[in-house]
Structure 1
């Protein structure tokens, strides 16, 4: 059972970093704030359904990840309409004070398939293979194989787009 909405900020605060990483992985720099806002709204709306069967981190991650996938599909359709402006928007300078290598990494992560993107984010968060397995209904050996291929793909993408790190 969930307490009153008054403590939502306290409940979500330990997980804001995870939401930030999801927004970085699914959205271009110019859209991150919008996606982050949508993730917070989705979690806030879904909170009454939290029964405590899973940890709050797992619940929040699943809600946010599903919302990010939906957002990404919707944004993909919008980008098709505005394809001629894509290059200009994607070549915006990095946010002030941000390490360009970090943006290169997240740009490469955004090119991964959604499940691999999610697994890579979980790995970066230090989540165990067992927890990833429970979250995605995949075997731990499948998780390991997917992460190995995703890491190789990231290095290939980074190598194609720049001189790497």
Structure 2
């Protein structure tokens, strides 16, 4: 299951880490939490939903515990994990993740799930909120990202 959802776990951690060392630590902590929680997985949701939920909770808890708040992203991370296309696409992807990293933790989690083509219903289950609330928040987040990219 870890191998199957490795990219998803990495993406979630990427959005909450301040640098490469933090990213590695957060990824490892997330994998450890998934391993610990696996015996309690009852199959009431899809494995992907369960992995997202554990990953997001781990990252959000990590963020709350963090003493300092990062103002900018300085992640010299290898973006080949996300996409193997041309450099221009990688540059756009890096810019998108930079903008997403500037969002609050809840906004980051919502937009990440949306970018993974999760349905509003699945996002609502993962995040523990109403489906309509997901739609409203995502519209606001997309508008916010658009405004941030135009500055």
TM-score normalised by L of structure 2: 0.80
Identify the structure with the greater helix proportion: 1
Match of 2:132 in 1: 141
TM-aligned CA distance change 1:158 to 1:32, over 3 Å: farther
Q: Distance in 1 between matches of 2:48 and 2:74?
A: 34
What is the total number of aligned residue pairs between the two structures?
141
TM-aligned CA distance change 1:97 to 1:110, over 3 Å: closer
Match of 1:155 in 2: 146
Q: Distance in 2 between matches of 1:96 and 1:137?
A: 32
Root-mean-square deviation over aligned CA pairs: 2.3
Q: Distance in 2 between matches of 1:56 and 1:129?
A: 17
**Quick one: which of 42, 46, 53 aligns to 2:37?**
46
Query: What are the within-5 Å matches in structure 2 for residues 1-165 of structure 1?
Result: 11-30=1-20, 31-75=22-66, 77=67, 79=68, 90-91=73-74, 94-95=76-77, 99-160=90-151
Gaps in structure 1 of 5+ consecutive residues: 1-10, 161-165
- CA deviation after TM superposition for structure 1 residue 91, in Å: 4.9
Contact map agreement 1:28 1:107 (CA 8 A) in 2: no
